[in-house]
Chain A
Amino acid sequence: MPAAVARWRSLVTPMLSRHLGLALGAFILLLLLSSQIGAYDDYNLAAVAIFAIATAGLNLLTGVNGQLSLGHGALMAVGAYSTSLMLRGHDLPLILVLLASLAAASLVGAVFGVAAARLRGPYLAGATLALAVGLPQIATRYSHVFGGEEGLTVPPPTAPGWLGADFPPERWLAWIAIAAALVTMVLLDNLLQSSVGRTFKAVRDHEAAAALAGINVARTQVIAFVISSACAGLAGSLFAYWAGLTAPAGFGVALSLQLVSAIVIGGLGSLSGAVWGSIVLVYVPALTSGMASSLKLPSAVGNNLPLLIYGAVLVVAMLVVPDGIDGGLRRLFALARARLAGATTNHKGVVDWDDPAGS
């Protein structure tokens, strides 16, 4: 019993209380912000929060634990279909639906994680890609349960009455998504700071060395997969509310690849990188979607312009900030700090990236 308590204690890092305060502050700030912007901006804000949950989970798996998953879109589908099926003809409390969807995706993730822990590199990528391709097909095969290509509609979460009758439903959804994202971030950050987080990194950096240090490599990898799947399930559930519909076409291979591209653009291995990536994922298409009809271009060009711009952003980001937006910002800050402390730097202005502040 004392051992269990000690183990539980080891999971709660000193950072937790500080981060809880920060998260609460961020929540209040974002609530105030969302009340000042239009309903469509709230809708996009909700999307950023939802994708941030999924990409944070994926970043934990890929960036921190070193397992590449090209199948996280399918795990989001598990969460989204769980939500849609639960809400079919029932009116269940939101929190229950979110947690049950999270649990369903974790279960699928646990089963898949056991298989994934045996695979490395391209084989793991291939297996997870198979998940992304295969899983949505189940919905078309068993269309009497999952609604086929047309999918299942999801009623929007209703805002409580005390917020007023003309409170936009998009804002209420944004609040829910932001709260869920902040809770996820605090928990994940706490995990990364704990001993579990250190075993994740140890396994990523050198499996044999980690095993010699007494870490159960396979178990660590399965745990990382389950936690990551839980995030995908929660994001999928919120995504179902956000889209108002769960259909197989929404969870294709493209979604899984977008999630991977988001963590690469945002910054591998960091939670703020996941947020940056989600902002790019949501806002680049939102800003470019009107170009096909508003610009006077031949339709063959105009129709494909938004995709071209998305590709160009990806290429430019990789060239300019190869370690992601988060890494780029860190370098920028480090550089600025090094300049400010210029007199005391020793190596002729050369910045040590592992310790950029020279502390």
Chain B
Amino acid sequence: MNTQINQMTTVMSRVAIGCAVALLAACGQSTSTTNTASAPGITASEIKIGSTQPLTGPAAPGYSEIAPAANAYFQYVNAHGGVFGRKITYNYLDDGYNPTTTSSVTRKLVLEDKVFAVFNALGTPTHLAVVDYLNSEKVPDLFVASGCNCWNDTSNHPYTFGWQTDYTIEGKILGQYIQQNLAGKKVGYFYQNDEFGLDGVKGLDQQLSAVASRQNYVPTNTNVAPQISALQASGAQVVVSFSIPAFTALALLTAAKYGYHPIWIVSNVGSDVPTLTGLLKKFSQGAVGSQLLTGMVTDAYLPLVTDASNPWITLFKGIHDQYISSLPWDGNVLYGMAAAYTFVQAIKAAGRNPTRSGLVHTLETTKLSGGPGLPPYGYSSGNHLGYLGVQVATIGADGNATTVGPVYTSSDSGPINQYSGTPATPPSSGIPS
């Protein structure tokens, strides 16, 4: 009997030792020097990621440059050794900004192409169509190209992460600017009637009390004359516009036609100067162009596209000239490259052989820093938003933007804080270390 117990103890201790050895081996994997196929989409030589983008359709002008720009940055990284020797393959599919198509092509990415993660999928209505699916399949859904705060839902959507400053925070900081610099003037709103515009208005309303007129539009109706004349009739001297580029241009042209010249304050997504200049020329058959943009107020969370002295702009402009010189150098290209830079930061931080849940864990626990953004990244276990703030900028007569005042950060309901950190400079290789 005793011998039996002894034997059993010996067996059990051997099992325990075996477990410990196995555990050590498992721990050792993360610091190992060989690449393994650690997750779907990851092989010894490749990281495959996918995206859904409006390459055609109503949102394509401007936005269709984002994915080729991100891909150009990945090609640059691949040409300089890749990520732990792995090449990044970026498979972006066209959804025509149609949520139903987003739904079917996302399944192609997950089921057929077996991508490791979905990266920078574009659009609020489009991505809302697949966010449940991606989370139920436990596919990392990184850096959605939309400023909806709906991506920050850590309990229902633990695999989804936003990237750009959310529209509510942006609205708050623009509202504060109006309070501080345009006090006493009558304010009107012009906004897109969906999550994008409504989130922005939510932020504005936290700062501003009296609003002379609130006008909204739907992207399928290009006649904005009723809204603009209502704003004019209300006597609004400042108009805050949460609009996509085409509708910023339509609003500016319609107002100019009525001899209405308020101070325009336009949210980041609708204010890219090269895109707007092109649209103004197109809509007015060449009659007007960038002169309508003079004095416009906007905001930025990335360095200004026209700031040739900024080292990030030098880096990304260089990659643009080398890989995608057929595309214009504008805010959309900068956006795509900056998001791609964040992805490379994240995947490197997740170690040599990342897993899907490991990448999510890394983003929640390892503070990413040193990216191209003006404000810091906000990623933590309780926050899946990316950049937490913006800096206000004004457009001069030469079409170039100039930043005004400090960078402010905030959250959807918290106070607005001045950010005192110094901007990072890119590593000399142009690839996060």
Please give 16 more A-B residue pairs, beta carbons under 8 A apart, in addition to A290-B93, A306-B94. A47-B104, A148-B193, A150-B194, A151-B125, A151-B129, A244-B103, A245-B100, A245-B103, A249-B100, A292-B55, A293-B71, A293-B90, A294-B91, A299-B64, A299-B326, A300-B326
Interface-side segment among A37-45, A85-93, A188-196: A37-45
Within 8 A of B (CB), among A223-264: 242-245, 247, 249-252
Please provide the 8 A-B residue pairs with the shortest distance between their CB atoms, ordered closest to farther. Answer: A250-B100, A40-B111, A303-B55, A40-B112, A299-B68, A245-B129, A247-B99, A249-B98
Contact A243 B105 (CB under 8 A): no
Mark B107-146 against chain A: 1 for CB-CB distance below 8 A, else 0.
1100111000000000011001110110000000000000
Interface membership of A170, Cβ < 8 A: yes
Q: Which of A38, A150, A294, A298 contacts B99 (CB 8 A)?
A: A150
Complexed CA–CA distance, A331 and B39 (Å): 51
Interface membership of B153, Cβ < 8 A: no
Complexed CA–CA distance, A303 and B95 (Å): 11
Complexed CA–CA distance, A27 and B12 (Å): 55
Complexed CA–CA distance, A300 and B64 (Å): 9
**Which residues of chain A are near B220, meaning CB under 8 Å?**
137, 140
Which residues of chain A have a CB within 8 Å of any CB of chain B?
Answer: 38-40, 43, 47, 137, 140, 143, 148-151, 153, 170, 242-245, 247, 249-252, 286, 289-290, 292-294, 298-300, 303-304, 306-307
Residue in chain A with minimal CB distance to B127: A150
**Which residues of chain B are near A245, meaning CB under 8 Å?**
99-100, 103, 128-129
Interface membership of B56, Cβ < 8 A: yes
**Which residues of chain A are near B387, meaning CB under 8 Å?**
none
Q: Which of A293, A303, A307 contacts B91 (CB 8 A)?
A: A293
**Which residues of chain B are near A252, meaning CB under 8 Å?**
98
**Which residues of chain A are near B68, meaning CB under 8 Å?**
299
Residue in chain B with minimal CB distance to A143: B193
Interface membership of B269, Cβ < 8 A: no
Complexed CA–CA distance, A242 and B97 (Å): 18
Known contacts A40-B111, A290-B93; A250 and B99 CB within 8 A of each other = yes
Q: How far is the CB of A77 from chain B (nearest CB, A)?
A: 11
Q: Which of B67, B108, B132 contacts A244 (CB 8 A)?
A: B132
**Which residues of chain B are near A290, meaning CB under 8 Å?**
91, 93, 108, 113
**Which residues of chain B are near A137, meaning CB under 8 Å?**
220
Contact B327 A299 (CB under 8 A): yes
Residue in chain B with minimal CB distance to A252: B98
**Which residues of chain A are near B193, meaning CB under 8 Å?**
143, 148
**Which residues of chain B are near A303, meaning CB under 8 Å?**
55-56, 60, 64, 94
Which residues of chain B have a CB within 8 Å of any CB of chain A?
Answer: 55-56, 60, 64-65, 67-68, 71, 90-94, 97-101, 103-105, 107-108, 111-113, 124-125, 128-130, 132-133, 193-195, 218-220, 324, 326-327
Q: Which of B99, B111, B194, B220 has the most CB of A within 10 A?
A: B99
**Which residues of chain B are near A148, meaning CB under 8 Å?**
193-194
Complexed CA–CA distance, A247 and B194 (Å): 13
Complexed CA–CA distance, A148 and B218 (Å): 10
Q: Which of A170, A242, A250, A292 contacts B94 (CB 8 A)?
A: A292
Some 5 contacts from A to B, beta carbons below 8 A apart, are A43-B104, A153-B128, A249-B99, A290-B113, A299-B65
Known contacts A153-B129, A303-B56, A304-B56; A289 and B324 CB within 8 A of each other = no
**Which residues of chain A are near B67, meaning CB under 8 Å?**
293
Complexed CA–CA distance, A250 and B97 (Å): 10
Q: How far is the CB of A327 from chain B (nearest CB, A)?
A: 29
**Which residues of chain A are near B65, meaning CB under 8 Å?**
299
**Which residues of chain A are near B55, meaning CB under 8 Å?**
292, 299, 303-304
Complexed CA–CA distance, A242 and B98 (Å): 15
Q: How far is the CB of B237 from chain A (nearest CB, A)?
A: 31
**Which residues of chain B are near A298, meaning CB under 8 Å?**
326
Q: How far is the CB of A349 from chain B (nearest CB, A)?
A: 47
Q: Which of B60, B92, B124, B129 contacts A243 (CB 8 A)?
A: B129
Complexed CA–CA distance, A290 and B218 (Å): 31
Residue in chain B with minimal CB distance to A137: B220
Q: How far is the CB of A258 from chain B (nearest CB, A)?
A: 12
Known contacts A151-B129, A245-B103, A289-B93; A299 and B98 CB within 8 A of each other = no
Residue in chain B with minimal CB distance to A43: B107
Residue in chain A with minimal CB distance to B195: A150
Contact A149 B125 (CB under 8 A): yes
Known contacts A140-B218, A289-B93, A290-B91; A247 and B107 CB within 8 A of each other = no
Q: Which of B103, B108, B130 contacts A289 (CB 8 A)?
A: B108
Complexed CA–CA distance, A294 and B99 (Å): 23
Known contacts A149-B218, A303-B55; A39 and B111 CB within 8 A of each other = yes
Complexed CA–CA distance, A140 and B194 (Å): 10
Contact B107 A170 (CB under 8 A): yes
**Which residues of chain B are near A307, meaning CB under 8 Å?**
56
Complexed CA–CA distance, A242 and B93 (Å): 19
Q: How far is the CB of A295 from chain B (nearest CB, A)?
A: 12
Complexed CA–CA distance, A138 and B336 (Å): 35
Complexed CA–CA distance, A306 and B107 (Å): 18
Residue in chain A with minimal CB distance to B71: A293
Q: How far is the CB of B56 from chain A (nearest CB, A)?
A: 6
**Which residues of chain A are near B104, meaning CB under 8 Å?**
43, 47, 242-243
Q: How far is the CB of A157 from chain B (nearest CB, A)?
A: 14
**Which residues of chain B are near A300, meaning CB under 8 Å?**
326
Q: Which of A150, A242, A294, A306 has the most CB of B within 10 A?
A: A150
Complexed CA–CA distance, A272 and B293 (Å): 58
Complexed CA–CA distance, A299 and B94 (Å): 12
**Which residues of chain B are near A242, meaning CB under 8 Å?**
104
Q: How far is the CB of A240 from chain B (nearest CB, A)?
A: 10
Contact A293 B132 (CB under 8 A): no
**Which residues of chain B are near A293, meaning CB under 8 Å?**
67, 71, 90-93
Q: How far is the CB of B219 from chain A (nearest CB, A)?
A: 8
Complexed CA–CA distance, A190 and B98 (Å): 37
Known contacts A148-B194, A307-B56; A249 and B125 CB within 8 A of each other = yes
